[in-house]
């Protein structure tokens, strides 16, 4: 993976020694204490934890598990014969069902598609669940398979009808919802398949809002792939903004909001490049667009609103590696004004990155705990959160190591 890419939460499997250190620290034991209970030395424990010594034999592993009160032996051992996936192993439990629905090709003429109004209502409810449920991936993952199949069927049956563009717009937004679920799962090919299908459906619909949402997600997928894809992200982003610009004087709130979201994304990519002036210039433009929206408006897909601009400022500062500015922006923003649980959790993660950059690791860990309270699944699948926890689990401060280890367990980072 490119060093400029968004951290992959599956990229760095926990080895036995790391697991032992996390579990020992969570238990509040020193290396000397654990070594003494094993009839060995603290230096032996250190050797195992740092990888200087090989993984012990089974009887020793079982004794360690007993002393550390490990409920599931896999928490300590993982599966040493294959690559270990962090957090939830092979991805979210509902990933296979979502993938099967994406890959299906409905041709059965005997099955009648639901009315478009019914699909729109179900889609709106799914977006609402995505923003309000703490376990939003689980909830959305349960709704997506039927939504995908029914939206595909609606498009097929509307091909010769006047409502074909509307059906394509719904299908595009269903794929957009699916992309939120598929992001940060261990199936990059599926992510790109969903993104591309969303773009095609949006183009078929000729709906400005659908096109904007699909482009917004495609630009993110390109940018998260690393520095070599930043130009592609900008191309999708800026061309879509150019398409939307003539519509903005008379645009409704949804179109104005997606244009604002795209404008911020251009600033986000500039910040990833280290282009300070361009990053903040785009942020200023996006803020001006947010100010044109009603005070309580909140875009149902991107979360773009007046309330989210403070969070966006934190993100820009963090991506520019400006620790002090990140903390200043975090102090000026109010996460509680963000109604979306996953977006609020992501903001907390960005704040935690800022605090770590600013040399405040204890505040960073506390902020990650707040993110977990807002939306556990957002933190669980976030590579930046994982990186902070693992780094602080090796801190020289015993208290910080313990807090980081406790958080690692809470986040499910030991799951095989």
Q: Count the helix, strand and coil residues of the chain and give each as a percent rounded to the nearest 5.
A: 70, 0, 30
What is the DSSP-derived secondary structure letter of residue 337?
Answer: G
115-124, pLDDT tens digit by residue? Answer: 999 999 999 9
31, 120, 406 from 42: Cα distances, Å = 5, 62, 21
- Say whether pLDDT at 80 is over 50: no
Confidence (pLDDT) at 90: 47
- Say whether pLDDT at 7 is over 80: no
pLDDT-derived band at 415 (thresholds 50, 70, 90) equals low
- Report residue 414 as tokens: 């030991």
Higher pLDDT, 235 or 37: 235
pLDDT (mean) for 81-110: 69
- Say whether pLDDT at 81 is over 50: no
- Say whether pLDDT at 311 is over 90: yes
What is the DSSP-derived secondary structure letter of residue 219?
Answer: H
Burial class (CB in 10 A: 0-12, 13-18, 19+), 342: buried
Confidence (pLDDT) at 224: 85
pLDDT (mean) for 298-311: 95
Domains of the chain: 1-87+396-416 (1.10.260.40), 91-206 (1.20.1270)
- Say whether pLDDT at 210 is over 50: yes
String of b and e for 57-89 (b: at least 16 CB within 10 Å)? eeeebeebbebbebeeeebbbbeeeeebbbbbb
Higher pLDDT, 78 or 209: 209
CA distance linking residue 318 with residue 274, whole number of Å: 11
Q: What's the chain's average pLDDT?
A: 89
Contacts 24+ apart (CB under 8 A), 43-52: 45/20, 48/16, 48/17, 48/20, 49/17, 49/18, 49/20, 49/21, 49/24, 50/17, 51/15, 51/17
Centroid of chain to Cα 145: 20
pLDDT-derived band at 307 (thresholds 50, 70, 90) equals very high
Instruction: Please calculate the CA angle 342-131-146 and round it to the nearest 5 degrees.
Output: 115
Higher pLDDT, 415 or 248: 248
Confidence (pLDDT) at 380: 86
138-142, 368-372, 389-393, 401-405: lowest mean pLDDT where?
A: 389-393
What pTM did the predictor assign? 0.79
Confidence (pLDDT) at 85: 33
pLDDT-derived band at 36 (thresholds 50, 70, 90) equals confident
Alpha helix ranges (H) inside 87-229: 95-103, 116-132, 136-157, 164-182, 188-205, 208-224
pLDDT (mean) for 380-403: 88
């Amino acid at each position: 993976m490119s060093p400029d890419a968004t951290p992959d939460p599956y990229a760095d499997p926990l080895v036995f020694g790391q697991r032992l250190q996390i579990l020992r620290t969570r238990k509040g034991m020193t290396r000397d204490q654990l070594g003494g209970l094993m009839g060995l030395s603290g230096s032996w424990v250190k050797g195992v934890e740092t990888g200087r010594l090989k993984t012990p034999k089974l009887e020793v592993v079982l004794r360690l598990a007993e002393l550390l009160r490990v409920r599931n032996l896999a928490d300590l051992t993982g599966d040493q014969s294959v690559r270990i996936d962090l957090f939830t192993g092979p991805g979210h439990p509902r990933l296979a069902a979502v993938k099967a629905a994406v890959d299906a090709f409905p041709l059965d003429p005997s099955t009648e598609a639901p009315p478009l109004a019914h699909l729109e209502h179900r889609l709106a409810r799914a977006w609402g669940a995505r923003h309000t449920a703490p376990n939003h991936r689980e909830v959305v993952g349960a709704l997506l398979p039927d939504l995908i199949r029914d939206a595909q069927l609606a498009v097929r049956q509307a091909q010769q009808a006047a409502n074909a563009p509307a059906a394509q717009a719904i299908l595009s937004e269903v794929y957009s919802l699916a992309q939120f679920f598929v992001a940060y799962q261990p199936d990059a090919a599926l992510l790109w398949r969903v993104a591309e299908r969303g773009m095609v459906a949006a183009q078929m619909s000729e709906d400005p809002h659908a096109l904007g949402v699909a482009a917004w997600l495609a630009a993110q997928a390109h940018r998260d792939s690393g520095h070599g894809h930043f130009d592609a992200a900008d191309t999708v982003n800026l061309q879509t903004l150019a398409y939307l610009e003539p519509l903005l004087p008379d645009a409704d709130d949804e179109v104005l909001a997606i244009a604002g979201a795209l404008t911020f994304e251009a600033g986000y990519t500039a910040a990833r490049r280290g282009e300070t002036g361009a990053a903040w210039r785009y942020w200023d433009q996006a803020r001006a667009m947010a100010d044109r929206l009603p005070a309580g408006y909140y875009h149902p897909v991107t979360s773009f609103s007046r309330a989210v601009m403070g969070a966006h400022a934190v993100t820009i500062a963090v991506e520019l590696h400006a620790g002090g500015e990140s903390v200043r922006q975090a102090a000026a923003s109010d996460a509680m004004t963000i109604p979306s649980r996953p977006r609020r959790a992501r903001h907390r993660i960005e704040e935690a990155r800022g605090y770590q950059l600013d040399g405040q690791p204890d505040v960073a860990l506390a902020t990650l705990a707040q993110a977990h309270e807002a939306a556990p699944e957002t933190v669980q699948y976030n590579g930046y959160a994982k990186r902070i926890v693992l780094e602080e689990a090796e801190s020289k401060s015993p208290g910080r190591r313990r807090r980081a280890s406790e958080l690692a367990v809470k986040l499910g980072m030991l799951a095989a």
